[in-house]
Structure 1
Amino acid sequence: MIMDGSTMDVGAVGCLRRVKTAIAVARAVMDHTDHTLMVGDLATKFALEMGFSETNLTGNRSLSKWKTWLANHCQPNFRQDVTPDPRQSCGPYTPKTQTMEDPEEQDSPGNDIQSASAHNIGEDNHDTIGMIVIDQSGRISAGTSTNGLTYKIPGRVGDSPIMGAGSYAMNGAGGAAATGNGDVMMKFLPSFNAVSQMQAGVDPTTALQKAMAPIIKFYPSFHGAMIAVNMDGKYGAVCHGYTNWTFCVADDSSSEVQLHFIDCKSSMTGVNSANADTYQAKLLLIIFISSFVF
């Protein structure tokens, strides 16, 4: 997705197949339609109409990982309350009727995501790139792009193309972007929350901490990270569940790109060397650097 904070225009695509430059297709949705979000094979059809090329995006590494996953009874597996047991079988699946004799299958709030390690959600299971830009005229925009969660159920759409979840931008307030367990994070619209906090005058780091706090309350084992920048060019970052995180910043004061490392254990308490709340620039680019999974 891509969002223009000066007009509040948004373009997004989800489940886009066989087109490499997804965020460029999202830009075409924003520029050439009255819609906000397009998904699936018809989004691919739209991309071809807009002049994008269709190509096979399955690499040798992806194919090898898929074959290994298939041979391992499709583990990890994100299905639940189905038969046959998704922990031991590749399906096909049908819904399972829960009974009191199966208490371990009963859900409780957050139970589906609490055991993140069981679903292999961690530093190597995502490839999201989030970006926030302030141009020379003071307009702000934000965008996110991802290949999605490894081993996801076909048809799944994560938080990256969802405005307010993957990213959000508003002139006069700032911009934010998020990455991590999208199935959890989109429930809280953390990017919108952070921008709303900055609109109320909260500094970027505190805004991110406030946006992340309710997620941690309900899902203490989740993995996620966020960046934000306000209209003065002050920026911050927080992360949870990982050991550390990285992001980079480019601005008009230097030709060098600044690389920042976040200690996730301390970032939620404000003890974070990457919190540059005194930093200001007229032209700024701030980008997440994620672990790439092809």
Structure 2
Amino acid sequence: MKRRNFIKKASATGLGLVAISSTLISCDSDSKSSEKKVVPSILESIRPLVIATWKTDLAVETAAAVLEKGGSALDAVEQGCRIEEANEQGQSVGKGGLPDRDGNVTLDACIMDSKGNYGAVLGVKNIKHVISVARKVMEDTPHVMLVAEGAEQFAVSKGFEREDLLTEASKKAWEKWKETSEYKPIINIENHDTIGMLAIDKDGNISGACTTSGLAYKMAGRVGDSPIIGGGLFVDNEIGGASATGLGEEVLKTVGSFLIVELMRQGKSPQEACEEAIGRIVNKPGKDFKDFQVGYIAVNKQGKTGAYSIHEWFSYNIYKDKENKNIKSDYFNKA
């Protein structure tokens, strides 16, 4: 995305991120005003709260409503992610997601609670709300991960209904892609591809969730970072949580979300931890990071948040070199 166009969008929303527009809604039950306040990420400590990748306003508002009513962080992130899974226009999460190169929509998701419990499903067909299936895996089985047909069968046994996930719009996009493709997965740096969500409830407990349809036109069977603990999501209730968006292969190579939480354990702020995690990717020898996206969001136990992306890193370094100034680029509206 061209820098100027993104800045216009960022200014309009009060957000300051490239590749991930992280929305934070404060749910301050002690406030005299009952009105929700949408504020930029990377602010002072706020609890309870919910943050998510991309500009998924309705999903965040839904999660925030759960927290406002005294609900748990776990319930909040599940309900928030379900909104995007039902959003057929999104074409990157749930029903309507872009298919693999063979035309099949397969979904991945994971969820993690404040006690360190984890559940995930990978490569699931025909089931829309895979984030809820992942929670069932976590709560109703002795396992942490189910895949493909086994995950689908488990979902049906728990009352989830099978449905065709390939919408007409996504089918047309896939057919157009086939006309000129060489059957290689496409990495589109402008395409939203995942929702990762983190929440802290009124009791100070942290939970997280991540759900996706994966890389558009991927090879059949491909799974990225989103359902993998420590990759697309990691939560340690004593420290904080992190979630990723973007090219899963690169997130997995550095176990990005786990890395961020461990950096916070060492004393780094969520923002510093996100920036270092991105640095671990872009500083690898021979890495052509301009051709793909990765972004992180994070929150610590105190309710401080952070977010950073490869394209923010790239913009900062390019403009720092041009202007010879040790400043952040103006993608950030940082308090």
Same topology, TM > 0.5: yes
- 1:51 paired to 2:159: yes
CA contact (8 A) 1:121 1:181 kept: no
- 1:240 paired to 2:310: yes
- Structure 1 residue 187 displacement after superposition: 1.2
What is the alpha-carbon distance in structure 2 between the residues aligned to residue 59 and residue 46 of structure 1? 24
What is the alpha-carbon distance in structure 2 between the residues aligned to residue 223 and residue 53 of structure 1? 34
Cα distance 1:267–1:239, how it changes in 2: closer, same or farther (>3 A)?
farther
| Aligned partner of 1:25 among 128, 133, 148 | 133
Larger proportion of helix: 2
1:92-107 alignment to 2 at 5 Å?
Answer: none
Deviations 1:212-236 (A, max 9, x none): 1111122333311111010111101
Cα distance 1:120–1:211, how it changes in 2: closer, same or farther (>3 A)?
closer
1:266 alignment counterpart? 316
Indicate the SS of the match to 1:175.
strand
Q: Which amino acid aligns with 1:226?
A: Y
Tell me: higher relative CO, structure 1 or 2? Use CA pairs within 8 A at least 6 residues apart. 2
Deviations 1:182-213 (A, max 9, x none): 11211111100000111122111101111111
What is the alpha-carbon distance in structure 1 between the residues aligned to residue 205 and residue 327 of structure 2? 28
Larger Rg: 1
Q: Which amino acid aligns with 1:232?
A: Q
1:1-294 alignment to 2 at 5 Å?
Answer: 1-4=110-113, 6-72=114-180, 74-75=181-182, 77-78=184-185, 119-124=186-191, 126-218=192-284, 219=287, 220-221=289-290, 222-241=292-311, 265-266=315-316, 271=328, 273-275=332-334
Larger proportion of strand: 1
Structure 2 length-normalised TM? 0.60
- Structure 1 residue 127 displacement after superposition: 2.4
- Structure 1 residue 76 displacement after superposition: 5.3
CA contact (8 A) 1:132 1:140 kept: yes
What is the alpha-carbon distance in structure 2 between the residues aligned to residue 120 and residue 178 of structure 1? 16
Indicate the SS of the match to 2:253.
coil
Indicate the SS of the match to 1:273.
coil
RMSD: 2.1
- Structure 1 residue 70 displacement after superposition: 2.3
What is the alpha-carbon distance in structure 1 between the residues aligned to residue 306 and residue 333 of structure 2? 7
Indicate the SS of the match to 1:144.
strand
- Structure 1 residue 267 displacement after superposition: 9.6
Cα distance 1:24–1:225, how it changes in 2: closer, same or farther (>3 A)?
same
CA contact (8 A) 1:76 1:120 kept: no
1:88 alignment counterpart? none
What is the alpha-carbon distance in structure 1 between the residues aligned to residue 127 and residue 199 of structure 2? 24
Q: Percent identity?
A: 38
